[in-house]
Amino acid sequence: MSWFIVGAVVVSRLVTADAQKKAGQQQQYDIERQAETEKLSAENEEIKRRERLNKVLSSNIQSVAAGGNTEGSIKAVALKSAKNASSSEGAESLSQRLRQDMLKREGSAARRSGNFQATSTLLNTGIFAYKVSK
C-alpha cells in the first residue's frame, strides 16, 4: 500500500479522533447548560411554591386567631398543614437537586465517552499503521 494512502488514512483518523473528543466536550457543555436552565427553573418554581405556602400559612394563622384559644382543632389542622407543606417542599427541593446532579454526571460521562472514542480511534490507527508497515 502506498505511504501516501497510509498517511491520508492516519490523518483522517486523527481528525476523526479530534472530532470525537470535541463532540464529547460539546455534549458535556450542552448538558451542563440544561442543568443550569433547570436549576433556574427550579428556583423560580420554589419561589412560587413558597408564595403559595405563605398564603396557606397566613390563612391558617388567621383561622387560628379568629378561633381563639378554645378551638384546639383549628390549631391542630393549621400545624398539620404547615408540617405537610414543609415536608412536600423538602421533597421537591431534593428531587430538583438530584436531577441537576444527575445531569452533571451525565455531562461528565459524555465527555469521558468522547475521550474514550478518540483514544480508541488513535489506538486503532496505530495498529493499522503497524500492520501496514510490516
What would the pLDDT profile of 38-66 be if each residue is shown by its tens digit? Answer: 888 888 888 888 888 788 777 777 766 66
* Count of domains for the chain: 1
The range of the structural domain enclosing residue 35 comes to: 3-133
Full 3-state SS string of 37-106 = HHHHHHHHHHHHHHHHHHHHHHHHHHHHHHHCCCCHHHHHHHHHHHHHHHHHHHHHHHHHHHHHHHHHHH
| 132 pLDDT more than 90 | no
Residue 43, pLDDT score: 86
The C-alpha atoms of residue 17 and residue 95 are separated, in whole angstroms, by 37
Give residue 48's pLDDT: 86
pLDDT at 70 over 50: no
Average pLDDT, the chain: 81
Write down the pTM of the prediction.
0.63
Average pLDDT of the residues in 96-102:
86
